[in-house]
Amino acid sequence: METTEIKFLAGPQSRWKDFKTAFSIFRSFIKGFRVFHFIGPCVTIFGSARFKDGHPYYEKTEELAGEIARLGFTIMTGGGPGIMEAANKGAKEAGGRSVGCNILLPNEQSPNPYLDKWVNIKYFFVRKTLLIKYSYAFVVMPGGFGTLDEYFEALTLVQTKMISQFPIVIFDTIFHKNLIAHIEVLKQNGTISANDSDYFIVTDSVDEAVEYIRLKSILKFKLQPEKLHKPFLWLFKKNKQW
């Protein structure tokens, strides 16, 4: 079992061990930066690893990811099974680009087979940073603790203006109705501002989600997703996948 992050978060270690951990974290970031630098503008799709092919959430994710890929975006996910696999599969079948940031877990989560590029990361906080760093929109599909963690991380960064106001789509109103109701409770109690819910939309429509991303990402930020970054040959970088 991988215990590096457990030990790191357990409290003070020796200064040498903390230094080695800090260096390991730095290397993880550099690895991610090198793999993802030329992938172009992304849309990150969050969701549960537990929904299998054939489940309605899986199929809807596949459809939505395909339509977003047709806008010219690279689809980025956590790289694993379930909703992540569905999103990467939808992108590939639409002729788009598909990448993943896979987490190394004790049960050995493997990258799904629909990835053009991926990186294996052993720290959750490094993974979350990479999932946010390259994206100009975020889609929250049905999921569990991890999905909510990723959603609120992105939402908090937008709310606090630590990143630009990239669009956030929460998909499936029935699944998320209690979550949205609790956000209203937060507004009523003054722990968030009345207009903080303007940072996201909740929808059941693939067309509405895609149009929201087109308006709030492509048009607002004047993106040209089809024009990818070109690698610098003097850095010995190659972009073989696309």
- pLDDT of 209-230, one tens digit each? 999 999 999 999 999 876 655 5
| The pLDDT of residue 228 | 53
| The pLDDT of residue 12 | 82
Per residue in 21-37, pLDDT (tens digit) is 899 999 999 999 999 99
CA distance 25 to 156: 23
* Ordered DSSP codes for 59-90: HHHHHHHHHHHHTTPEEEE-SSSTHHHHHHHH
Residue located via tokens 């970031």: 29
Q: Which fold has domain 4-9+16-224?
A: Rossmann fold (3.40.50)
106 pLDDT higher than 80: no
CA distance 74 to 90: 11
Q: Is 208 exposed, middle or buried (0-12, 13-18, 19+ CB in 10 A)?
A: middle
CA 225, chain centre distance (Å): 17
Count of residues making up the chain: 242
Handedness of CA 4, 5, 6, 11 (dihedral sign): positive
| The pLDDT of residue 2 | 47
The overall longest dimension of the chain from CA atoms, in Å, is 56
Cα three-residue angle 76-77-79, rounded to 5 degrees: 120
Name the pairing type of β-strands 97-103 and 117-121: parallel
User: Given strand 42-46, what is the order of strands in its sheet?
Assistant: 117-121, 97-103, 74-77, 42-46, 135-140, 168-171, 200-203
| The pLDDT of residue 227 | 66
